[in-house]
Structure 1
């Protein structure tokens, strides 16, 4: 998330987004699996705390380590990573303990393309490739949610035109003069 104090005068945030939610599926499943194995081990395989204490602690430590390493840490990394488009730049921030950021001024953007797999097409996400002028020409933002909308928002800034929002068709001067009513049915 970009703080208001980090924006230039007159700069406005168009969108701030995390990577697609599909990146949370594996961490959540790993955490649930670790919890299930822990409960199964403590209740079924190692039911006696008096004689099996060290085994129970070993299973608990292993399950916790797996849940933290493959469940909690990737979820924290997802939450701490954002892509932000403002009226003047594209900002990408990554990292939990150490942070990495990249900012691209909109006026340096030469083109915007995308890449999607079949699964990404079904989920509405993909990789947004921003080509810029300069020695580091391509910037790839992976797992961008609502990819089509994000491409339109970047193109709108590049073209300095307003593209209608989803579900809001452009208003024409001849609206309502076709003799039909607002429901789309012909008048009797």
Structure 2
């Protein structure tokens, strides 16, 4: 899904747009499978009892709650989290009901680092660490292709620095 053009400034274009890595959905999918499998097993055990309707209702309520809380909520969180690098800024947007975001202009970014362990290296993800002029370093976990995003962001920062310097020279 492309990032909405109406949220971009003039002469700004998207360089890269990612959602968090799919590995953050492994636990929610496992929870879903365990809840459905366990609920089906318990419902089959309750079949022979006279109070099976009550057990089935309770299983449905508990199973529904577990699926909503541990499967659907993380899925929506994953789907509504965006990491966007444009020609002018680095943006992070996240949230389902309450949206929050961070925008860092390229000219304000001092350094970009990445970190990934062995599992992250195998899966092709990692943590991106962005240091801006005024803030503590911001860490963004589960970035897919973190090394490529790091390189692109660094290239865009270098381009923004060149653009800012040429603009300042033009004002003199």
Q: TM-score range by the shorter chain?
A: 0.7 to 0.9
Runs of 5+ unmatched residues, structure 2: 161-172
In 1, Cα distance between equivalents of 2:65 and 2:21: 25
What is the match of residue 186 of structure 1?
A: none
Larger helix proportion of the pair: 2
In 2, Cα distance between equivalents of 1:50 and 1:89: 64
Contact 1:84 / 1:91 at 8 angstroms: preserved in 2? yes
Runs of 5+ unmatched residues, structure 1: 162-188
Q: Is 1:30 the equivalent of 2:31?
A: yes
Contact 1:18 / 1:83 at 8 angstroms: preserved in 2? yes
What is the match of residue 94 of structure 2?
A: 94
SS of 2:9's equivalent in the other structure is coil
In 1, Cα distance between equivalents of 2:81 and 2:38: 30
- Taking only aligned residues, the RMSD between alpha carbons, in angstroms, comes to 1.6
Contact 2:20 / 2:144 at 8 angstroms: preserved in 1? yes
What is the match of residue 146 of structure 2?
A: 147
Larger Rg: 1
What is the match of residue 137 of structure 2?
A: 138
Contact 1:110 / 1:133 at 8 angstroms: preserved in 2? yes
SS of 1:160's equivalent in the other structure is helix
What is the match of residue 106 of structure 1?
A: 106
CA deviation digits over 1:26-45, x for unaligned, max 9? 001111111111211222x1
**Which of structures 1 and 2 has the larger relative contact order (alpha carbons within 8 angstroms, sep 6+)?**
2
Aligned residues: 159
Contact 2:88 / 2:106 at 8 angstroms: preserved in 1? yes
TM-score when normalising by structure 1: 0.80
TM-score when normalising by structure 2: 0.87
What is the match of residue 18 of structure 2?
A: 17
Shift of 1:12: 0.3
In 1, Cα distance between equivalents of 2:150 and 2:20: 15
CA deviation digits over 1:141-167, x for unaligned, max 9? 111100111011111112229xxxxxx
Moved over 2 A (4+): 48-51
